[in-house]
């Protein structure tokens, strides 16, 4: 996700790619949503 965002991909596009790659969400769901991607990346950025 971090590399995708650094390359300029939108949260929506990252969510689409994760869904297409069949990466499960934390809760085991199959579909990613852009707001979840944004929250994860914001939490990561707040660590640094």
Residue ranges of domains in the chain? 2-46
1-48 pLDDT, tens per residue? 999 999 999 999 999 999 999 999 999 999 999 999 999 999 998 888
Q: At what angle do helices 34-46 and 11-20 cross, to 10 degrees?
A: 110
Predicted confidence at residue 37, as pLDDT, reads 98
- Distance of alpha carbon 46 from alpha carbon 24, whole angstroms: 24
Predicted confidence at residue 47, as pLDDT, reads 86
**Number of CB atoms found within 10 A of residue 16's CB:** 16
- Distance of alpha carbon 13 from alpha carbon 48, whole angstroms: 24
Predicted confidence at residue 17, as pLDDT, reads 98
22-42 burial by CB neighbour count: b if 16+ within 10 A, else e?
Answer: eeeeeeeeeebeeebbbebbe
Q: What is the pTM of this model?
A: 0.89
Predicted confidence at residue 40, as pLDDT, reads 96
């Amino acid at each position: 996700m971090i590399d995708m965002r650094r390359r300029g991909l939108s949260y929506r596009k990252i969510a689409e790619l994760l869904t297409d790659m069949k990466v499960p969400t934390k809760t085991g769901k199959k579909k990613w949503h852009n707001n979840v991607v944004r929250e994860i990346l914001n939490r990561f950025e707040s660590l640094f």
